[in-house]
Structures are given as C-alpha cells and as structure tokens.
Chain A
Amino acid sequence: MYQLNDQQIDYIFNDISARGVEMESLQLNLHDHVCCIIEQNLEENGDFESFYQKTIQTFYKDALWEIEEETLQLLTNKNYYKMKKIMIYSGTLSVAGFIAGSIFKIMHWPGASAILLLSMLNISLIFLPLLFILKTREVSAMKDKLMIAIGTIFGILFSISSLFKIFHWPGANLMWLSALGILMFVFIPIYFFSGIRTPETKVNTIITSIILISAGGMLFTLTSLKPSTKFYIGKTYNYLQGEELITRMHSIKNDTTNQNPEMINLSKEIIENCNKIKELIIIDGTGIKSIPKDFETKDIILQESGLGKEFDLGASGMELIQKLKKQINLYNTLVNRNKQLPIDNSIERMEKMELIRLSNYNLLNSLTDIQLFILQNEKGLTLN
C-alpha cells in the first residue's frame, strides 16, 4: 500500500488537465480514481512516476480526452431529442399560427397581426436555427454543412422579409431580394452541382433543382409584378393636387347670403374629420402625418394598398368613418337638393365588408371629393 504525498497528488491533477480533460467534475473523478489505483496497487517503495504513466495509459486508446468527448457525446445526445421535440412543436405551432393568422387577417378579426408576427418570429428564430443545428449534425462533409447553413440563412431572411413587408417596415424589399438572390445564385447551384456528381442522388437532384428554380422564378415574377414606383409617384401627385385644390378653395371668401351658423360649424367638422381620416391612411402607408411637396426627392411615396389596421372593426379609423357617415346624412337634410353631397360615394356605402375592398387611394379620393363639395357649397359656387 502506497501513500501519495501532496506534491504527487497535485502532479496527477495537473497532468490530467494537461491531457485535455476540461470538465471539472470529470477531472475530479479521474483524479480520485488514479490515486486509488496507485495507493492500492503500488508497493510502498515503488516508482510512482512510471507506475502512474502506466496506469493512466490503461484509461484510453489514443488520448485521455476521449473520455471527455464520450461524456459530452452522451450529454448532447440527450439534448438532441429535446431539441428535436422543441423543433417539431415550434414548427407545428408556426404552421397553425400561419393558417389561423391568415384567416383572421382575411376576416379582419382583431389579433391577426399578433398571431402572424409570433408565428413568423417562431419559425425564423426557433424552428430554423434548431433545424440547422440538428441537420448539420447528421452530415459530416463540410460542403453539406455549408449547404444547410445557406439554406437556413435563406429561410430566415425569407420569413423575416415577409414579416417586414406585412408591417411596412423599411428594408423589406432589399431583404426579400437578397433572400431570393441567395436561393437562386448560391443555394441552387451548390445543391445542383454537389448532388449531380453522385449517381444515386442524380435524378432526385435534377428534379428538386427544377422545382426550386421554378419556385424561385415565380417569386421573382411576383416581385416584379408589382407596379413600379413611377406609377405610385403619379398617384401621389394626383393626391397632392387634390389637397392643393382644397387649400385654394379655402382662400376664397365664404358666401354669406344664406348660411346659418349651424351649417358653417357642420361643414367645418366634416372637413376636419376627413383630414383626420386622411392622416391615419397616410401614417399607415408612409409612417408620417402628411406627404410633403418634395416627396419624390425625400423618397416618401404612398403605395397603393389596403386600409391599415386602423380601419378594422372598432379601431379609431372605422369610428371616424361611422361618425362621418352620420355627419353627411345630417348635412344632406339641412341643404337644398342640389347642394346635397352625392349619396352614392364610397363613404356612404362603407360597411365593414365594403372597406376591405377599398384601397387607401380610393378612400383618400372620396374624402377629397367630399371636402370639395362642401367647400363649393360654402363658397357659393353651387347654383341655387
């Protein structure tokens, strides 16, 4: 029975960490183990150094850190199943969220945006990264790992750019195009040329590549199908001209012959209400309250789109429109037939479902028309 002194104990401990074992608990375990073997088996006046070297060599095949690697392998394998489970759950949840969110969006029910946002974040920040980690573990070649990495980056960019598009955040188009670019010019070529070399994957690679290219092409087409910015520049000018006309009408003197104070007040209220609604539409489309005259140089262009979430049922825009409808009806009862606001304009018919079919420009133009009709009456420009 051999008695180890403190120096020898330290020596063994240092040697174990020098051999590449880094986990503290494993260091302690191995340390105690070697010490026990030496104390049990070395004779009292034996050679510590050579006995230790002989003993430690029985612990492994090539290197001591193999034990740590094996330990980590066992520990991460456990995470593997956990990660796989989380991945499947998050994937299922996102798909369910996408379906529910789309239905909510179509029906204009509240919460659609929140559901879509969560699903999109879920898929790009949980599902895809996990898929990447798990998939890279299954392949060993660097080339395959690279391909999975590129695929994941494409997926994340694609879903985040869709998110940016839905919420009209800046940079969406750039992200969308770079995602498509990665797919078409990086991912598909690497995938194609690496798969076509092996006979057993050749046919599959060709078919999948064709499907991917056509899908990518369709997405490209969708991008370019959207009217060009020039088209919207024209529309924005039209809108600004309407606004200019309203301003000029304001500067004309009021017709004082047959106006009662109630009428003047109501006219003012309707015009103000119209301005408030316009403001909501413009904020939704551009992020700012009104479009400046030099919008083209400042790159603030109002694209034609649906009405924003302010016009969902119960939201402030919808309430303003309902108020406007009442005001118009009241106005029409107070004025002569030929001064009445045209009933058949889109405001009058605006129920929830009608609103969904309107674009922001439709509504803006209707509002401008109402304002002009009222101003026309106020300035005495209508024939009695």
Chain B
Amino acid sequence: MIYSSELLKGTLKTIVLKLLADNKKMYGYEITQRVKELTLDKIQITEGALYPTLHSLEADGLVTTETEFIGKRVRKYYSLSPTGKTKTKEKVSELADFMETMKFLLDIKPKTA
C-alpha cells in the first residue's frame, strides 16, 4: 500500500528534518531513496513535493545547503542548521503526540500479540 499524498503533505517537513538529523547531509534523490528503503516502499516522496519543501525549509533557515560538483553535474547537499536541529525535535514530538491523539480519536486498538 502506498499512502496518499494528502496524508503525507502535513508530515513531509518532519520526515525530511528527521532524516537530515540522522544523516548529517543528504541530497534530494538520496532522501527519496532512503524514505523508500526505510518504509519498504510504502512511502514514496514525489519530486513535486520534496523540492518545494526543501526550498521552503531553506527559506526558513532550518536547513543549509552546500553544492558539490560531480563531473558536469552540480549536487546540492542539505544539512540542518542549529535552529533546524531544535525545530526537528519539536516537530517529531509534535507528530508523535498527534499520532497518539489520532489513535484515540479514531479508536484504533494497538495490535497486541
């Protein structure tokens, strides 16, 4: 099952920030591949969603970029800024809290073995 883009929309920033927190610096393609890997293909970030989000994070000062030349190509690496690091913690705990609330709201019983 692949989750709908609507579901992903509100969490994409958090996902990207958390990945950057765990991996120091990443480029766009790497981010999409890593998410795919980690979620066993359940979450596939589209280019159309990823890059606007990265640009907006950059404009917010949460991430910084550095460019690297690979032959004729230019690769932009993204990494967290100091404010980005604190923001990531906030965002992750906010999302965790949100998921708890959703569980309660939608009355989802945790699967117990």
Q: State whether these chains interact.
A: yes
CB–CB A32/B73 < 8 A: yes
Nearest CB in chain B: distance from A145 CB, A = 26
13 more CB-based (< 8 A) A-B contacts, given A37-B29, A71-B55: A9-B72, A26-B51, A28-B76, A32-B27, A32-B28, A32-B73, A32-B75, A59-B46, A66-B48, A67-B47, A67-B51, A74-B52, A75-B55
User: A70 to chain B: which residues have CB within 8 Å?
Assistant: 48-49, 52
Determine whether the beta carbon of B67 is less than 8 Å from that of A28.
yes
Contact with A along B30-56 (1 / 0, CB 8 A): 001000000000000011110111111
Minimum Cβ distance to chain A for residue B58 (Å): 8
Are B52's CB and A28's CB within 8 A? no
Name the residue among A6, A23, A35, A60 with the largest chain B CB count within 10 angstroms.
A35
Q: How many interface residues does chain A have, given as a range?
A: 20 to 34
The answer to the question of A10 belonging to the interface, with a C-beta cut-off of 8 Å to chain B, is: yes
Q: Once bound together, how far apart are the Cα atoms of A121 and B31, in whole Å?
A: 49
When the two chains form their complex, are residues B73 and A33 in contact, meaning their CB atoms are under 8 A apart?
A: no
Binary interface profile of B, 52-73, with partner A (CB < 8 Å = 1, else 0)? 1111100110000101001111
Query: Is there an interface contact between A71 and B56, defined as CB atoms closer than 8 Å?
Result: yes
A25-B76, A32-B74 given; A74·B47 CB < 8 A: no
User: Is B56 touching A74 in the complex (CB atoms < 8 A)?
Assistant: yes
Judge if A105 is at the interface, Cβ distance under 8 Å.
no
A25 to chain B, nearest CB (A): 7
Assembly CA distance A78 to B57 (angstroms): 11
| CA A66 to CA B46, docked complex, whole Å | 13
A59 to B56, CA, bound (A): 19
Q: When the two chains form their complex, are residues B29 and A78 in contact, meaning their CB atoms are under 8 A apart?
A: no
Residues in chain B within 8 A of chain A (CB atoms):
27-29, 32, 46-49, 51-56, 59-60, 65, 67, 70-76
Contact assessment for B76 and A75 in the assembled complex, using a CB-CB cutoff below 8 Å: no
Note all chain A residues with C-beta closer than 8 A to B75.
Answer: 28, 32
Among B27, B56, B65, which residue has its beta carbon within 8 angstroms of that of A78? Answer: B56
**Is B29 touching A36 in the complex (CB atoms < 8 A)?**
yes
Closest to A77 in B: B56
Residues of B within 8 A of A35 (CB): 73
B113 nearest CB across to chain A (Å): 38
CA distance A60 to B65 in the complex (A): 25
- B51 surroundings in chain A (CB, below 8 A): 26, 29-30, 67, 71
In the complex, the answer to whether A30 meets B47 with C-beta atoms within 8 Å is yes
- Cβ of B28 to closest chain A Cβ, rounded Å: 5
Bits for A6-33, please: 1 = Cβ < 8 Å to B, else 0: 1001100000000000010110111111
- In the complex, which of the residues A60, A71, A73, A78 has the most CB atoms of chain B within 10 Å of its own CB atom? A71
Tell me the complex Cα distance, A70–B60, Å. Answer: 16
Give min CB distance, A72 to chain B, whole Å.
8
Q: How far is the CA of A35 from the CA of B28 in the complex (A)?
A: 12
B72:A6 contact, CB within 8 angstroms: yes
Q: Closest CB-CB distance, A317 to chain B, in whole Å?
A: 55
For A36, give the chain B residue with the smallest CB separation.
B29
Pick from B28, B59, B60, B71: contact of A29, CB under 8 Å: B28
A32–B73 alpha-carbon span in the complex (Å): 7
Q: Which of B47, B53, B71 contacts A33 (CB 8 A)?
A: B47
Contact sample, A vs B, 22 pairs, CB 8 Å cutoff: A9-B73, A25-B55, A25-B65, A25-B76, A26-B55, A30-B47, A30-B51, A32-B74, A33-B29, A33-B32, A36-B29, A58-B47, A59-B47, A67-B47, A67-B51, A70-B49, A73-B52, A74-B52, A74-B53, A74-B55, A75-B55, A78-B60
| Set B48, B52, B54, B72: member contacting A59, Cβ < 8 A | B48
Can you list, as one digit per residue, whether each of A48-70 has a CB less than 8 Å from chain B (1) or not (0)? 00000000001111000011001
Residues of A close to B52: CB separation below 8 A: 67, 70-71, 73-74
For A29, list chain B residues within 8 Å (CB).
28, 51, 54, 76
In the assembly, what is the distance between CA of A10 and CA of B73, in Å? 9
Chain B residues, Cβ within 8 Å of A73: 52
Give the docked Cα–Cα distance between A26 and B71 (Å).
Answer: 19
- A147–B36 Cα gap in the complex (Å)? 50
The minimal Cβ–Cβ distance linking A261 to chain B, given in whole angstroms, is 81
Chain A residues near B74 (CB-CB < 8 A): 28, 31-32
